[in-house]
Structure 1
């Protein structure tokens, strides 16, 4: 990280550097609509006044609040000192914007002491613009060190594309 002189992490890089030529043909995209953001803001307990200021709409439906935003990254918070094993689940939907029929296979760059699972681990698309959902689960250890931030990746690959999403696990009050 040029700002701190420390090694850059996914918190600074996200999914990585963008290749402008490949960005024109990303393969998969994570669509997020206005209502998805409203659901997220509602789950964060933003007031209607603040949500209206952000969305510039006076009609905001908070009937389905959700912290699980359809975003190409994952951050799981585990309580330090918790003696029970914890699992966090994330639901995502990807859209095939590639040429048509294709299959993506998942691979996980693991995080020490955590078990990460994706179901299904293969996405078979029959046509362009088809959407398929998957679930990523992260099983945490019985004890996690306070302020420790650990990283892994979920990578979807077909014959042409590589779509990488960072996975971050930490405690709720970590220091950047």
Structure 2
């Protein structure tokens, strides 16, 4: 049932904020969602009765009121999706079939999307993954955002810069997310 609810909320947001792109609407819904139930306990995974992981719960429970004023959003353009397809080695014929256009070229292939969630890949030769993400201020006024990280077992994560100051609506600023694979060491022994 989440699909019709999310689609309905997206439609309501589009009516309230007609200037927002589909990516902006998705970002607003994802970044303002919550992961607690009506008792303020973590939402449970129905399969095992334990707190749901991000892979089980996704972004969380959508809050339409908060999504109307998310503050910051991650926006995307069609070219960003084409650059992803190029990085995934899709042929121009396949890209044209998907986009229904022959006007796109693979000038800037990139496996990274400016998206509110991500997966970091590591290989044997490289234990660090860096992402450059861009935020757009959709708020009305000057505001400052400071990064807050939750520790993750086996990873070292850093945001550079740690603070972004926005002075106007629709201003864009970028930050780098550095993720380093840190070997897990059992210190309980």
Q: Which runs of 5+ in 2 are unaligned?
A: 1-44
Question: In structure 2, which of residues 89, 94, 99 is the aligned counterpart of residue 45 of structure 1?
Answer: 89
In the TM superposition, structure 1's runs of 4+ consecutive aligned residues that sit over 3 Å from their partners are 4-7
Q: Does 1:91 align with 2:91?
A: no
Output aligned runs, 1:126-165, within 5 Å: 126-142=167-183
SS at match of 1:69: coil
Taking a change above 3 Å as real, the CA distance of residues 113 and 62 of structure 1, as seen in their structure-2 partners, is same
SS at match of 1:123: strand
Q: Does 1:65 align with 2:106?
A: no
Deviations 1:85-138 (A, max 9, x none): 611100100000011200011100111121100001111000111000000001
- Structure with bigger RCO (C-alpha 8 Å, 6+ apart): 1
The CA deviation at 1:6 is 6.2
SS at match of 1:111: coil
Deviations 1:124-167 (A, max 9, x none): 000111000000001112579xxxxxxxxxxxxxxxxxxxxxxx
Q: Which runs of 5+ in 1 are unaligned?
A: 145-176
SS at match of 1:41: helix
Whole-angstrom distance in 1 between the partners of 2:117 and 2:149? 13
* Equivalent residue number for residue 10 of structure 1: 54
The CA deviation at 1:14 is 2.8
* Equivalent residue number for residue 153 of structure 2: 112
Which structure has more strand as a fraction of its residues? 1
The CA deviation at 1:12 is 3.3
TM-score scaled by structure 1? 0.73
Whole-angstrom distance in 1 between the partners of 2:172 and 2:121? 28
Is residue 87–residue 138 contact of structure 1 (8 Å, CA) maintained in 2? yes
* Equivalent residue number for residue 20 of structure 1: 64
Greater Cα shift, 45-54 or 96-105: 45-54
TM-score scaled by structure 2? 0.68
Task: Give the number of the structure whose alpha-carbon radius of gyration is greater.
Answer: 2
Which structure has more helix as a fraction of its residues? 2
SS at match of 1:88: strand
RMSD (Å), alpha carbons: 2.0
